[in-house]
Amino acid sequence: MKNLYLIIFACLLFCFSQSTYGQSTNFFNQKNIFSVRASFNPRLIPIGQNGNYTDDGMYANEGVGRGTYYQYYDQNNKLVGGDQKFNLMLNASYKRIYNSDKVIGVEFNYQKHNLTINETANIGFTEDDYDISKPFLISTPVFNTYDIQILLGSFSDAVLAPNQHLFTYGLGVRMFSLDQDQNYRIDSETPITDLDDFLDDYEKIFIYTRFSMNYTYRMLITKNLSLDLGLNFNIGLYQDMEAVDNLPMEYGYFTGESAAYSRNFVRNKLGHETFFNMLYFRTGLSFAI
């Protein structure tokens, strides 16, 4: 894991070394850029890993989740599942240009994240020693996700900033906070789940460190306004992403006791899932002044 910090450091160095031949001026002397963008995360990695019930009624757990998968009990107590085609992230950023082509700024992102909870309990064994498992605690807690990042970067030095190619690196935090307004049914029998029984300390937010690399191609519409097209590569700097420890107690299912998810488990699972949503395509508008 220490290597990652090294990589970030190297990337930051790269970002500063890039433009030793910077322009000595700006396009219309514009030094401030305000951007509003939408980022789309096509489910490139999870797409082959969609969770599904197998023919024998078993549930394939791998690939479930990854932020876009959802499952819930509908009014007829029927389990409904599916996946959205992409994650949508909204960004707003402010950047200040200094030294003609370098930028420093701050970026805010917002998106919703579906954490798929889908546990199975072993309820017996078949003759062939296969587990007979039964899914329980099926739900999709929705998290509002906020990123705050410091951006550093530079424009390509061939043309005046702010114009055309922009490379930025962001370092900041990603915060997940449970959307408490929704009703999460953990099974068909429970019409309303008390959030206390659903998640330990549900009011507390989860904080991760994040690093991002962005490339933006700016197409000028007017001298101040431009259309941005870009790529955004997000890496979560969370170390332990195997969501195996701290599972809710299986006996809870049998005893009917509350089996609230521990924070540690959710934390690991969130980290794990977001890791599969690294690449975003961005589009939006920038206003430079």
| Sites of contact with other proteins (CB under 8 A) | 23-25, 27-29, 158-160, 163-164, 220, 222-223
Which CB atom, from 158 or from 244, has the smaller least distance to other proteins?
158
For the CB of residue 20, give the shortest distance to other proteins in the complex, in Å: 16
Element (H, E) at 216: strand 206-220
Q: Quote the least distance from Cβ 226 to other proteins, whole Å.
A: 9
Q: Phi and psi of 211, rounded to 5°?
A: -125, 140
* Closer to other proteins by Cβ: residue 193 or 286: 286
The b/e string for 30-44 (b: 16+ C-beta within 10 A; e otherwise) is bbebebebebebebe
Q: Quote the least distance from Cβ 96 to other proteins, whole Å.
A: 19
205 near 176, Cβ under 8 Å? Answer: yes
Q: Residue 30 carries which DSSP code?
A: -
Compute the least distance from the CB of residue 284 to other proteins, in Å: 19
Alpha carbons 218 and 107: distance in angstroms, whole number: 17
Say how far apart CA 277 and CA 267 lie, in whole Å. Answer: 16
Nearer to other proteins, 8 or 220 (CB): 220
CB of 219 to other proteins, least distance (A): 9
- Cα separation, 111 vs 91, in Å, equals 9
Residues 6+ apart with CB under 8 A from 93: 33, 34, 35, 37, 105, 106, 107, 108, 151
